[in-house]
Amino acid sequence: MKAPVQPPRAIAPTAAALFALACLVVGTAVGGYSASTHRIYAPRAGLACPNDGPVDFSRLVGPTAHWTPQEPDDEHFLRERLRRLEDGAEQRAPVQVWTIGSMAPGQSKFTATRGASGLWTLTQDREGDSSAGHSRITLSSAESEQLDRMLADACLYAEPEIIDNEYPSADGKSGVCFDGANTYVDIDFAGRRRAAVQACETYGLTGKLVNLLREPFFRPNRSAQ
């Protein structure tokens, strides 16, 4: 993934922009770290957040950040989607995730909308491959409460806006991921907004949120509408 080296920067949402995010489908990460080690980082004063994956978030956020990631080439995809949402050309939802495969055709869009009952309804739209189509699922009370908790977590919104194929690894070196899907997340919920891009894989609380939106559609006994 080639692009000029730039310092991390926020993707400025417009007044009506939603929180956009990028989602892992497949990928191979290189970089040594112990999955059993529980790490904490402080993206800003007074906030302590988990950092248990391969990416060292402490080197990507805050005034002491000392990593200059490349900007994903196809960040324009997210910017174009945000523009279309602002212009009313695409329907808005509190949470939207686009997944674009890098080595295979097709893309997926996941949305989440909270009903008056407090239950979240998920939709999946696929295009460009043999599984193209539309499906919808309503989460259970327990799953909806889990999504509520995720969206209320300040650490979710403090994570880096951009994570490229090459990233600062938890082992103090550099990690790299190839051949995965790029994920774009857009969130506009309860007064909180965020736009983020993650290349090849998803990481941190962002990745957990994306997986929560995707996983119900791949359960063998789960009926989609």
Contact 210, 27 (CB under 8 A): no
CA–CA gap between residue 202 and residue 23 (Å, rounded) = 5
Q: What is the pLDDT of residues 131-143, one digit of tens each?
A: 678 899 999 999 9
pTM: 0.75
Pairing label, strands 28-30, 107-114 = unpaired
Query: Which pLDDT does position 10 carry in this prediction?
Result: 41
Is the confidence at residue 23, as pLDDT, over 70? no
Mean pLDDT of 146-169: 91
Rama region for 157: left / alpha / beta (φ>0; ψ in -120 to 50; rest) = alpha
Q: What is the pLDDT of residues 45-98, one digit of tens each?
A: 789 999 888 999 988 887 667 776 555 555 666 777 777 777 766 667 899 898
Question: Worst-scoring range by mean pLDDT, 14-28, 44-58, 89-103, 207-221?
Answer: 14-28
CA–CA gap between residue 210 and residue 212 (Å, rounded) = 5
One-letter amino acid identity for 50? P
Query: Which pLDDT does position 11 carry in this prediction?
Result: 39
CA–CA gap between residue 28 and residue 5 (Å, rounded) = 23
Contact 85, 16 (CB under 8 A): yes
Mean pLDDT of 204-215: 92
Q: What is the pLDDT of residues 119-130, one digit of tens each?
A: 999 999 887 666
**Helical spans, DSSP H, in the chain:** 75-87, 141-152, 154-158, 204-214
* Domain edges within the chain: 19-218
Is the confidence at residue 38, as pLDDT, over 90? no
Task: Quote the percentage of the chain above a pLDDT of 90.
Answer: 28
Confidence of residue 20 (pLDDT cuts 50, 70, 90): very low
Mean pLDDT of 163-181: 84
- For the chain, what is the mean pLDDT? 76
Query: Which pLDDT does position 19 carry in this prediction?
Result: 30
CA–CA gap between residue 200 and residue 72 (Å, rounded) = 10
Closest C-alpha among 152, 157, 154, 176 to residue 165? 176
Query: Which pLDDT does position 31 carry in this prediction?
Result: 36
